[in-house]
Chains A and B, each alone.
Chain A
Amino acid sequence: MPEISLNVLDVAENSTRAGASLVTITIDADFSGDRLTVVIDDNGCGMTPEQVQQVTDPFFTSRTTRKVGLGVPFFKLAAESTGGSFAITSEPGVGTAVTAVFVLSHIDRMPLGDISTTIHTLVVYHPETDFVYRYQYNGRSFTLDTREFRQVLGDIPFDTPDISAYIMDYLNENKLETDGGAIY
């Protein structure tokens, strides 16, 4: 994976597959502390302690289409190879939280990439799931909450062209105001 945001897309996909009704994604870039923290937190079916141990093993998967499961191991390696850390906490019936911490200045840290398109893809293509996305950059932040959108829209789906465009603009404009267009 060439971008952190693609890892987010992939791992958040697991949350929707775990039947989560709410997925919270937090991106926190803190340049004074030299850390980029990514948290994906869901209220899906959760995992047993044994399963939590297994998911970072590339040769474990719950799927049947093939025998490897690389999403979580990729994400873990990406974080740990920058001197950062990776953790999963999970409880059956409660949900799962995945936390990856990257050292921003490390030469092996992949770029954050197009996080706004990632969030847009998640929001628009998972009509059954609500997302809370919080983007923080050196203390400034904005939040997208699809529950607020739904309250306004009623049953108008997010993939309606005008709505989809609004969500993309919402992400792009608010990110620009938060980080001034920083690329990192």
Chain B
Amino acid sequence: MKSLEELKAIRERMQSQVSMRAEDHNHTRVVVGMATCGIASGARPVLTKLSSLVQEKNLTDKISVTQTGCIGLCQYEPIVEVMEPGKQKITYIKMTPEKAEEVLERHLIGGHIVEEYTLSGADIK
């Protein structure tokens, strides 16, 4: 069985590092809708993908991935909202882990919105 001793070792290691994360206003927030509608249409793997990619790429000091409830657009779930400081909120709809990876690469790292996956860009009218 995995023990709490290991967790203590991780803590010791971390306390020697100085850079504790500070939530400042330059933080980009990525929010995944996780109500019944989101979960049923596959939001959990999208959330897991985004947060593990952000960690892998050492972006945790710039991007925080969180979850929220029902946004009210259940038919477009899984929904991912990107809120960059000083910019308009971007709503990505019908996400998959693959699309989420693309959004991370092209939008969050590259700075270009992936129009075809957004609520305003998708052909849904």
Contact = CB atoms under 8 A, between A and B. Distances in A.
Contacts of A154: 11
Interface residues of B, number: 31
A17 B70 CA distance: 12
Contacts, number: 85
Interface string A137-178: 000001000001100111011011111111001100110010
Given A1-B40, A71-B36, A160-B21, A177 B10 contact: no
Nearest to A149: B7
A117 B11 contact: no
Interface SS, A side: helix
Contacts of B7: 149, 152-153, 163, 166
Contact of A118 (B13, B37, B44, B74): B44
A114 to B, nearest CB: 8
A177 B3 CA distance: 13
Given A10-B35, A17-B69, A125-B66, A162 B10 contact: yes
A65 B14 contact: no
A13 interface: yes
A12 to B, nearest CB: 11
